[in-house]
Amino acid sequence: MKPPLLSSRSQFAEGLAQALPKAKASVAKNPDDAFQKSILAQLEFMALSIAENRAPSADELNRLNLSVIAVRTVEDTDPEYAALLSELEYAFRRLKTLPP
């Protein structure tokens, strides 16, 4: 098993900064695509949590499904982006334990 790509909070922030513009562009290109809207909303939630320096609740974490959406809708057309989305969800779930 390979180690996670995002193994620090700073790497998480960099990954999030890469993913957000892609998600916004996808929604702009396909405004009726519920999956793309969900990806963007989840990334924006992560960004807001970081900006507010607030740890998400267990309930909020349980609602995340970026990895599932990425595998089902993005992996065939953009495997790197799909991998980044999966990594972001994984890292966000354990953000409290990541080093700076």
Average pLDDT for residues 34-43, to the nearest whole number?
Answer: 97
pLDDT reported for residue 4:
64
Q: Is the dihedral of CA 95, 54, 62, 39 positive or negative?
A: negative
Average pLDDT for residues 35-52, to the nearest whole number?
Answer: 96
DSSP state of 71: I
Average pLDDT for residues 48-68, to the nearest whole number?
Answer: 93
Task: Please report whether residue 58 resides in a domain.
Answer: yes
Question: How many domains does one find in the chain?
Answer: 1
Question: For helices 9-29 and 34-51, what crossing angle results, to 10°?
Answer: 150
Task: Please report whether residue 73 resides in a domain.
Answer: yes
Task: Please report whether residue 4 resides in a domain.
Answer: no
Q: pLDDT of 75-97, one tens digit each?
A: 999 999 999 999 999 999 998 88
